[in-house]
Protein backbone atom coordinates (compact mmCIF):
# COMPACT_ATOMS: atom_id res chain seq x y z
CA UNK A 1 0.00 0.00 0.00
CA UNK A 2 1.19 3.52 -0.77
CA UNK A 3 0.44 6.44 1.54
CA UNK A 4 1.15 9.22 -0.91
CA UNK A 5 2.59 12.61 -0.05
CA UNK A 6 0.99 15.63 -1.73
CA UNK A 7 3.65 15.43 -4.42
CA UNK A 8 2.83 12.21 -6.29
CA UNK A 9 5.18 12.22 -9.29
CA UNK A 10 7.42 9.41 -8.01
CA UNK A 11 4.52 7.04 -7.34
CA UNK A 12 2.95 7.90 -10.68
CA UNK A 13 6.13 7.15 -12.58
CA UNK A 14 6.63 3.90 -10.65
CA UNK A 15 3.09 2.71 -11.31
CA UNK A 16 3.10 3.74 -14.95
CA UNK A 17 6.36 1.87 -15.51
CA UNK A 18 4.80 -1.37 -14.31
CA UNK A 19 1.04 -0.92 -13.87
CA UNK A 20 -1.03 -3.40 -11.93
CA UNK A 21 -4.13 -5.02 -13.40
CA UNK A 22 -6.25 -3.49 -10.61
CA UNK A 23 -6.11 -0.60 -8.13
CA UNK A 24 -8.12 0.78 -5.27
CA UNK A 25 -7.69 4.54 -4.81
CA UNK A 26 -8.65 5.59 -1.29
CA UNK A 27 -9.18 9.31 -0.66
CA UNK A 28 -11.45 12.29 -1.19
CA UNK A 29 -12.88 13.03 -4.62
CA UNK A 30 -10.57 15.90 -5.57
CA UNK A 31 -7.38 14.04 -4.63
CA UNK A 32 -8.31 10.77 -6.34
CA UNK A 33 -9.54 12.60 -9.45
CA UNK A 34 -6.26 14.50 -9.70
CA UNK A 35 -4.21 11.33 -9.35
CA UNK A 36 -6.38 9.43 -11.82
CA UNK A 37 -6.13 12.11 -14.52
CA UNK A 38 -2.34 12.15 -14.24
CA UNK A 39 -2.19 8.35 -14.23
CA UNK A 40 -4.25 8.10 -17.43
CA UNK A 41 -2.20 10.86 -19.03
CA UNK A 42 1.13 9.21 -18.11
CA UNK A 43 -0.05 5.93 -19.65
CA UNK A 44 -1.18 7.85 -22.75
CA UNK A 45 -4.59 6.19 -22.68
CA UNK A 46 -7.05 7.94 -24.98
CA UNK A 47 -10.56 8.74 -23.77
CA UNK A 48 -12.06 6.15 -26.13
CA UNK A 49 -10.28 3.46 -24.10
CA UNK A 50 -11.50 4.70 -20.72
CA UNK A 51 -14.79 3.21 -19.49
CA UNK A 52 -16.41 4.66 -16.39
CA UNK A 53 -19.41 3.52 -14.42
CA UNK A 54 -21.85 6.17 -13.26
CA UNK A 55 -22.98 5.09 -9.77
CA UNK A 56 -26.56 5.42 -8.64
CA UNK A 57 -27.89 4.37 -5.24
CA UNK A 58 -25.94 1.16 -5.84
CA UNK A 59 -23.71 -0.40 -8.50
CA UNK A 60 -25.55 -3.41 -9.86
CA UNK A 61 -24.34 -6.64 -11.41
CA UNK A 62 -25.46 -5.63 -14.92
CA UNK A 63 -23.26 -2.51 -14.79
CA UNK A 64 -20.24 -4.63 -13.88
CA UNK A 65 -21.03 -7.14 -16.61
CA UNK A 66 -21.20 -4.33 -19.18
CA UNK A 67 -17.92 -2.92 -17.88
CA UNK A 68 -16.19 -6.30 -18.11
CA UNK A 69 -17.55 -6.83 -21.61
CA UNK A 70 -16.22 -3.43 -22.68
CA UNK A 71 -12.66 -4.00 -21.43
CA UNK A 72 -12.52 -7.51 -22.89
CA UNK A 73 -12.10 -5.98 -26.36
CA UNK A 74 -8.72 -4.87 -27.69
CA UNK A 75 -7.91 -1.22 -26.90
CA UNK A 76 -8.96 1.10 -29.71
CA UNK A 77 -5.96 3.43 -29.86
CA UNK A 78 -4.03 2.92 -26.61
CA UNK A 79 -1.91 0.24 -24.99
CA UNK A 80 -4.46 -0.27 -22.20
CA UNK A 81 -8.16 -0.15 -21.56
CA UNK A 82 -9.00 1.41 -18.22
CA UNK A 83 -12.21 0.64 -16.31
CA UNK A 84 -13.13 3.10 -13.55
CA UNK A 85 -15.58 2.32 -10.74
CA UNK A 86 -16.25 5.44 -8.63
CA UNK A 87 -17.92 5.07 -5.23
CA UNK A 88 -16.93 1.40 -5.21
CA UNK A 89 -18.46 0.95 -1.77
CA UNK A 90 -21.84 0.95 -3.54
CA UNK A 91 -21.16 -2.38 -5.24
CA UNK A 92 -23.91 -4.87 -4.48
CA UNK A 93 -22.85 -8.31 -3.26
CA UNK A 94 -23.58 -9.88 -6.66
CA UNK A 95 -21.76 -7.08 -8.50
CA UNK A 96 -18.72 -7.41 -6.23
CA UNK A 97 -18.61 -11.18 -6.71
CA UNK A 98 -18.82 -10.78 -10.50
CA UNK A 99 -16.01 -8.21 -10.40
CA UNK A 100 -13.96 -10.55 -8.20
CA UNK A 101 -13.91 -13.20 -10.92
CA UNK A 102 -12.51 -10.67 -13.38
CA UNK A 103 -9.91 -9.45 -10.88
CA UNK A 104 -8.70 -13.05 -10.60
CA UNK A 105 -8.42 -13.41 -14.40
CA UNK A 106 -8.33 -9.89 -15.88
CA UNK A 107 -8.55 -9.32 -19.66
CA UNK A 108 -5.23 -8.69 -21.34
CA UNK A 109 -4.10 -5.05 -21.40
CA UNK A 110 -6.82 -3.95 -19.02
CA UNK A 111 -6.61 -1.93 -15.79
CA UNK A 112 -9.51 -1.81 -13.34
CA UNK A 113 -9.59 1.11 -10.92
CA UNK A 114 -11.94 1.27 -7.93
CA UNK A 115 -12.33 4.58 -6.13
CA UNK A 116 -13.62 5.00 -2.58
CA UNK A 117 -13.28 7.46 0.29
CA UNK A 118 -12.67 4.56 2.69
CA UNK A 119 -12.76 0.76 2.82
CA UNK A 120 -16.38 0.61 3.97
CA UNK A 121 -18.47 -1.62 1.71
CA UNK A 122 -15.48 -3.17 -0.08
CA UNK A 123 -15.17 -6.94 0.14
CA UNK A 124 -11.88 -8.13 1.70
CA UNK A 125 -11.47 -10.53 -1.24
CA UNK A 126 -11.71 -7.60 -3.68
CA UNK A 127 -9.27 -5.52 -1.63
CA UNK A 128 -6.76 -8.38 -1.55
CA UNK A 129 -6.64 -8.57 -5.35
CA UNK A 130 -5.93 -4.88 -5.93
CA UNK A 131 -2.95 -2.63 -5.42
CA UNK A 132 -4.02 -0.01 -2.91
CA UNK A 133 -3.01 3.63 -3.15
CA UNK A 134 -4.16 5.76 -0.24
CA UNK A 135 -4.16 9.42 -1.21
CA UNK A 136 -4.39 12.02 1.56
CA UNK A 137 -6.42 15.17 1.11
CA UNK A 138 -4.68 17.64 -1.13
CA UNK A 139 -3.93 20.66 1.05
CA UNK A 140 -2.18 22.58 -1.71
CA UNK A 141 -4.83 23.22 -4.38
CA UNK A 142 -3.97 24.85 -7.68
CA UNK A 143 -0.18 24.84 -7.23
CA UNK A 144 1.44 23.88 -10.51
CA UNK A 145 3.84 20.93 -10.47
CA UNK A 146 6.64 23.11 -11.83
CA UNK A 147 6.23 25.73 -9.08
CA UNK A 148 5.89 23.08 -6.40
CA UNK A 149 9.23 21.61 -7.46
CA UNK A 150 10.84 25.06 -7.17
CA UNK A 151 9.47 25.66 -3.66
CA UNK A 152 10.53 22.19 -2.50
CA UNK A 153 14.14 22.52 -3.64
CA UNK A 154 15.02 26.22 -3.61
CA UNK A 155 16.47 26.30 -0.08
CA UNK A 156 19.04 23.69 -1.08
CA UNK A 157 20.30 25.54 -4.15
CA UNK A 158 23.60 27.33 -4.33
CA UNK A 159 23.70 31.11 -4.75
CA UNK A 160 24.63 30.68 -8.40
CA UNK A 161 21.71 28.29 -8.97
CA UNK A 162 19.31 30.70 -7.24
CA UNK A 163 20.48 33.52 -9.47
CA UNK A 164 20.03 31.36 -12.59
CA UNK A 165 16.54 30.42 -11.40
CA UNK A 166 15.72 34.09 -10.77
CA UNK A 167 16.78 34.93 -14.32
CA UNK A 168 14.53 32.20 -15.74
CA UNK A 169 11.46 33.02 -13.65
CA UNK A 170 11.79 36.80 -14.13
CA UNK A 171 10.97 36.26 -17.80
CA UNK A 172 7.66 34.64 -16.86
CA UNK A 173 4.67 36.86 -17.62
CA UNK A 174 2.71 35.17 -14.82
CA UNK A 175 4.94 36.20 -11.95
CA UNK A 176 1.95 37.12 -9.79
CA UNK A 177 0.67 33.52 -10.09
CA UNK A 178 4.11 32.30 -9.04
CA UNK A 179 3.94 34.36 -5.85
CA UNK A 180 0.37 33.23 -5.12
CA UNK A 181 1.47 29.60 -5.44
CA UNK A 182 4.41 30.26 -3.13
CA UNK A 183 2.15 31.74 -0.45
CA UNK A 184 -0.15 28.71 -0.68
CA UNK A 185 2.87 26.46 -0.33
CA UNK A 186 4.02 28.30 2.80
CA UNK A 187 0.57 28.10 4.40
CA UNK A 188 1.01 24.43 5.31
CA UNK A 189 3.71 25.23 7.89
CA UNK A 190 2.28 28.52 9.12
CA UNK A 191 0.38 27.04 12.06
CA UNK A 192 3.37 24.88 13.00
CA UNK A 193 5.53 27.96 13.47
CA UNK A 194 8.03 26.72 10.90
CA UNK A 195 7.31 29.27 8.18
CA UNK A 196 9.76 32.08 7.54
CA UNK A 197 7.42 34.99 8.33
CA UNK A 198 9.93 37.45 6.91
CA UNK A 199 9.80 35.60 3.59
CA UNK A 200 5.98 35.80 3.55
CA UNK A 201 6.12 39.55 4.16
CA UNK A 202 8.69 39.99 1.35
CA UNK A 203 6.50 38.02 -1.07
CA UNK A 204 3.49 40.19 -0.22
CA UNK A 205 5.57 43.29 -0.91
CA UNK A 206 6.88 41.81 -4.15
CA UNK A 207 3.32 41.37 -5.42
CA UNK A 208 2.94 45.14 -5.13
CA UNK A 209 6.30 45.95 -6.70
CA UNK A 210 5.82 43.75 -9.80
CA UNK A 211 3.07 46.12 -10.91
CA UNK A 212 5.70 48.83 -11.14
CA UNK A 213 8.66 49.26 -13.43
CA UNK A 214 11.31 47.39 -11.40
CA UNK A 215 14.06 44.91 -12.14
CA UNK A 216 12.20 41.62 -11.62
CA UNK A 217 15.30 39.47 -11.82
CA UNK A 218 17.07 41.46 -9.10
CA UNK A 219 13.94 41.37 -6.95
CA UNK A 220 13.74 37.55 -7.27
CA UNK A 221 17.44 37.18 -6.49
CA UNK A 222 16.94 39.04 -3.21
CA UNK A 223 13.87 36.97 -2.34
CA UNK A 224 15.57 33.66 -3.13
CA UNK A 225 18.49 34.59 -0.88
CA UNK A 226 16.00 34.73 2.01
CA UNK A 227 15.09 31.05 1.59
Residue-level pLDDT at 2: 42
Residue-level pLDDT at 139: 54
Per the prediction, the chain carries an average pLDDT of 84
Closest CA to 186 of 165, 155, 218: 155
> Does 77 score more than 60 pLDDT?
yes
Buried residues in 94-125 as b, exposed as e (16+ CB within 10 A): ebbebbbebbeebbeebbbbbbbeeeeebbee
Residue-level pLDDT at 190: 56
What's the distance, CA 37 to chain centroid? 7
Residue-level pLDDT at 206: 84
N residues, the chain: 227
The lowest-confidence range among 34-38, 100-104, 162-166 is: 34-38
Closest CA to 54 of 22, 87, 98: 87
Q: Looking at residues 140-154, what average pLDDT do you find? A: 76
Residue-level pLDDT at 5: 40
Residue-level pLDDT at 4: 42
84 near 51, Cβ under 8 Å? Answer: yes
| More confident: 57 or 192 | 57
> Does 205 score more than 70 pLDDT?
yes
Nearest 5°: CA angle at 139, between 40 and 210? 100
- How many CB atoms lie under 10 A from the CB of residue 201? 11
Residue-level pLDDT at 200: 83
Q: Looking at residues 117-144, what average pLDDT do you find? A: 81
How do the residues of the chain divide into helix, strand and coil, expressed in percent and rounded to 5? 50, 10, 35
CATH class belonging to 2-134? alpha beta
Q: Looking at residues 108-132, what average pLDDT do you find? A: 92
The lowest-confidence range among 78-82, 121-125, 179-183, 209-213 is: 209-213
Amino acid sequence: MYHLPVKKELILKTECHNPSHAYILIGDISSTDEFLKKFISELQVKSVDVIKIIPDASIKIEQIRNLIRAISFTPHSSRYKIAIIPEAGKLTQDAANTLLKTLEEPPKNSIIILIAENYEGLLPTVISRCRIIKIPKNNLPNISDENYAVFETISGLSVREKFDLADKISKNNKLDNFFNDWLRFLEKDLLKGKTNKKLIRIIFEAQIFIKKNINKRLMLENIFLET
